[in-house]
Amino acid sequence: MSGDDAQLDNHHHAPIVGYHRAPLSQKFGAPRQPNLVALTSVIEMLAPYDTPAAFVGLEAFSHIWISWQFHHNYKIKDNAVNEADSSFRPQVRPPRLGGNQKIGVFASRSMYRPSALGLSVVKLERVEVIQGRAFLIISGADMIDGTPIVDIKPYVAYSDALVEAESGFAPSAPELLAVTITESAYEQFLALANTGQLINNDEEINIEQDTVTTLMHQMQSQLLLSDIDIIKALIAQDPRPAYRRTQINMPFTMRYKSVDVSFQLIAVDELQITAVVEVI
Give the per-residue pLDDT at 135.
97
Cβ atoms of 143 and 118 within 8 Å: the answer is yes
Give the per-residue pLDDT at 75.
56
242 — pLDDT class (breaks 50, 70, 90): confident
> pLDDT per residue over 58-98, tens digit each?
999 999 999 999 887 655 555 554 444 557 889 988 888 87
Q: Decide which of 101, 127, 160 is a domain's last residue.
A: 160
In this structure, the answer to whether residues 156 and 247 fall within a common structural domain is no
Residue 172 lies inside a defined structural domain of this protein: no
Q: What would you measure as the largest C-alpha separation in the chain, in angstroms?
A: 69
Nearest residue to 18 via CA among 78, 75, 64: 64
Cβ atoms of 89 and 106 within 8 Å: the answer is no
Question: Would the pLDDT of 3 be above 70?
Answer: no
Reading phi first (left if > 0) and then psi (alpha if -120 to 50, else beta), residue 234 is in alpha
**CA separation for the pair 164, 36 (Å, rounded):** 21
Question: Would the pLDDT of 195 be above 60?
Answer: no
Residue 145 lies inside a defined structural domain of this protein: yes
**CA separation for the pair 81, 275 (Å, rounded):** 39
In this structure, the answer to whether residues 14 and 73 fall within a common structural domain is yes
In this structure, the answer to whether residues 208 and 131 fall within a common structural domain is no
Nearest 5 degrees, angle CA 28-CA 34-CA 38?
A: 85
Q: Decide which of 130, 160, 190 is a domain's last residue.
A: 160
**CA separation for the pair 206, 200 (Å, rounded):** 13
CATH number for the domain that contains residue 121: 2.40.30.70
As a whole number, mean pLDDT of residues 197-226 equals 69
The total of other beta-carbon atoms located within 10 Å of residue 105's CB is 16
In this structure, the answer to whether residues 101 and 44 fall within a common structural domain is yes
As a whole number, mean pLDDT of residues 177-187 equals 98
What is the number of structural domains in the chain?
Answer: 2
Residue 14 lies inside a defined structural domain of this protein: yes
Query: Burial letters for 130-143: b for 16+ Cβ neighbours within 10 Å, e otherwise?
Result: beebbbbbbebbbb
Question: Would the pLDDT of 137 be above 50?
Answer: yes
Residue 173 lies inside a defined structural domain of this protein: no
Give the global pTM.
Answer: 0.85
Give the per-residue pLDDT at 108.
87
> pLDDT per residue over 7-62, tens digit each?
556 677 889 999 999 999 999 999 999 999 999 999 999 999 999 999 999 999 99
Chain length of the chain: 280
- Mean pLDDT across the chain: 87
In this structure, the answer to whether residues 127 and 254 fall within a common structural domain is no
**CA separation for the pair 223, 14 (Å, rounded):** 35
Element (H, E) at 262: strand 259-267
In this structure, the answer to whether residues 23 and 154 fall within a common structural domain is yes
Q: Which domain holds residue 84?
A: 3-160
